[in-house]
Structure 1
Amino acid sequence: MNVLAVIVGIAIVFGVALDMALTVLHPTIRGAFSHRLTRGLWRMIRALSVATGSRRMLTFAGPLATVALFVAWLGGLWLGFGLIYLPFVDQFSSTVHLAHRGVFTALYASASVLTTLGLGDVLPTQNGIRVAVVCEAAAGVATLSAAISYVLSVYPLATQTRAHALYLSDLRLRSPRAACEYIAATGNTGVAEVHQRLIEGHQSLRRFPVLYYFHPDAEEESVTRLLESAVVLCAVARWAPPEEVTPYGFRVAEGLQTTLELIRADYLAKYVAGQIGQPSDEQIPTEEAAATLRSLREKLASPLRKARLSDSEAQQFTHFTSNMDHLLEGLARAHVYHHEPLLHRFANGDEPPVGTA
């Protein structure tokens, strides 16, 4: 029994240390426990939000997930070292009388060392336990340092993502006409700038997956709005561009399309599907999408409106619109937002109806 307690304790300590190292230090690999904890907490808060009809409740998910993560790390180290000490509680000297040395004594000693409280009422007397005590004290300091580093890394990135989303929202790029005017005014650099902002946001999410759970008060600052704006801009630049777009601009738009497809796969696999299941993968009928694209080119007075729409172009536009609609629908459902199908927006060509912003 004593050997089992030590083995389990060591396993817990190493598990926590590995999860903490991956979460804080590794640029792409997620800590398995951290990810499950934050996702589970999000599911619970989202269920409460839907049940009460209060979307504002979702704004607490990110901060609560961050706090829960630190508490879980500390709790794991506390329990793990407590189990390691349990068979050796008799090897601790005490300045006070302890009626019974057992689980409470082991956990008390672990808490005192982990928090570097250092009251001195329970002290190790054997060298092996002294080494364990030093390791636990170091782990406690490392956890505190990791927590500070984590917060100082995550919160600026959360603010940056919201700023990117608000920037695109203020430009009204969800509107195909506004996107066309933006491209005409900025040329190739405008699409490249949005592409760069999107890459930065996605890399930040891969580095710190908890960013997904920082739900903003205003939808204009959300990742959903950021992606929606980028999707509309990409579609206009690729298939209904103004005359200001050069061959280089087309290449940039193709790069933006590739990035959006990668983001879609990442979000649906790691975030959306784990909350509400995979959204429908039903494809938009090619004929309907082709008719919408022709209408969009006419409304935006694109130079391509006089050209014949090839089958390849129609299929590419259909595939892109269908895939992006799946992503945006899934994000809207997960974050309790309204979703307007992309084809409706492309068919309208102008600003979204009032009340759907």
Structure 2
Amino acid sequence: MKWLVSLAGAGLVMVALRDLFHTLWHPTRHGGLSRLVMTALWRLARHFRARRRVVGLVGPLAMVTVVGIWAITIIVGWAIIYWPHMPGAFSFTPGSQAAQQPPLLDAVYLSLVTVATLGLGDIAPAEGWLRLVSPLEALVGFALLTATVSWVLEIYPALTRRRVLAIRLALLQRSDPSVHQLDGTVGATLLESLATEVARVRIDFTQYAEAYYFHDGEDHSSLAATIGYAVALAQRGQAARRPDVRLTGYVLAGALEDLATILDQRFLHTGGTPMEVFTAYAADHGRSLTQS
């Protein structure tokens, strides 16, 4: 019976580690827990009247919540591993009151101290297999800390790339170049660079799906509000006389179509055209799509 309880605890730890791996390191980055938490908080925020102020907290709050759930699950899982073998399989420092506490409390305490790599030493495993298992928890705790830092360092550059594209589109919308102005070498270079930036954002939504749930700020820095103008620029490029401008116009249109596909498959599920997807994207972020 003791081993069944310990195996249940090990299964709980593996569930947390699997979700952490799929969220941060798997190529498709389909972390079930992170997506569930962020989607739930995003939908909840949409029901608040002060939506723009509340929704700005969804991304950071969801990341903190997910990391907290990972930590709690790992701590509880390892505590369940220790619990059936407490106190007989552990040694206690002389004068320690730990052995007089309930075994479950001692197990949770030991798990918390170990995962935090504090190494207080008042409770130590005495049996051979526990002396091997306990340091593994410390390694997992260190890995969790490293993963959390790397997650934060990865997500914010992706947000920066998205906002840079949005601001660039907003600035272009102010000048509003015509088909004639785009029909030249400068126009081809402009459309090509926009296609490259759209492709990067498309990859960011694939690799860092959590970025979808971060608020972009004002309309001029929100891709949800400005992406429609990229569609207008692609159409103008396709209508140009120069072959190189027409080519880059089609490339930009293709990049936008790929972006719409990713948004629809992962977040919106409209099954519509790219413009319908972008309209739904803007509405989901509390924006109005602009095309001209």
TM-score (norm 1): 0.74
Aligned counterpart for 1:335 among listed residues 268, 285, 290: 285
Query: How far does the alpha carbon of each residue in 1:101-151 deviate from its partner, in whole angstroms, 9 at most, with x for none?
Result: 332221111101000122222211111111111110000001111111111
Tell me the residue number matched to 1:70: 67
Whether contact under 8 Å (2:260, 2:277) holds in the other structure is yes
3-state DSSP of counterpart to 2:108: helix
CA shift, 1:181, in A, is 6.0
Aligned counterpart for 1:83 among listed residues 75, 80, 85: 80
The aligned amino acid for 1:159 is T
Alignment of 1:268 onto 2:285: no
CA separation in 1, counterparts of 2:254 and 2:8?
A: 46
Tell me the residue number matched to 1:313: none
CA shift, 1:4, in A, is 3.6
CA separation in 1, counterparts of 2:263 and 2:11?
A: 32
Whether contact under 8 Å (2:228, 2:275) holds in the other structure is no
Query: Which residues in structure 2 correspond to 1:1-357 (within 5 Å)?
Result: 1-47=1-47, 51-90=48-87, 91-95=89-93, 96-97=96-97, 98-172=99-173, 177-178=176-177, 180=179, 183-184=182-183, 186-238=186-238, 241-243=239-241, 246-273=242-269, 278=270, 281=272, 323-339=273-289
- How many percent of aligned residue pairs carry the same amino acid? 26
CA 1:150–1:249: 2 relative to 1, 3 Å: same
The aligned amino acid for 1:30 is H
Whether contact under 8 Å (1:26, 1:207) holds in the other structure is no
The aligned amino acid for 1:271 is F
3-state DSSP of counterpart to 1:64: helix
CA 1:71–1:179: 2 relative to 1, 3 Å: farther
Aligned pair count? 287
The aligned amino acid for 1:2 is K
CA shift, 1:179, in A, is 5.5
CA shift, 1:193, in A, is 0.6
Whether contact under 8 Å (1:191, 1:252) holds in the other structure is yes
Structure 1 unmatched ranges of 5 or more: 282-322, 346-350, 352-357
CA 1:166–1:23: 2 relative to 1, 3 Å: same
Query: How far does the alpha carbon of each residue in 1:188-226 deviate from its partner, in whole angstroms, 9 at most, with x for none?
Result: 111111000000111122111111111122122122134
Structure 2 unmatched ranges of 5 or more: none
3-state DSSP of counterpart to 2:216: coil
Please report the RMSD computed on the Cα atoms of aligned residues, expressed in angstroms.
Answer: 2.2
Whether contact under 8 Å (1:56, 1:217) holds in the other structure is no
3-state DSSP of counterpart to 1:93: strand
CA 1:181–1:34: 2 relative to 1, 3 Å: farther
CA 1:54–1:75: 2 relative to 1, 3 Å: same
CA separation in 1, counterparts of 2:179 and 2:135?
A: 63
TM-score (norm 2): 0.89
Query: How far does the alpha carbon of each residue in 1:308-334 deviate from its partner, in whole angstroms, 9 at most, with x for none?
Result: xxxxxxxxxxxxxxx133112211221
Whether contact under 8 Å (1:58, 1:215) holds in the other structure is yes
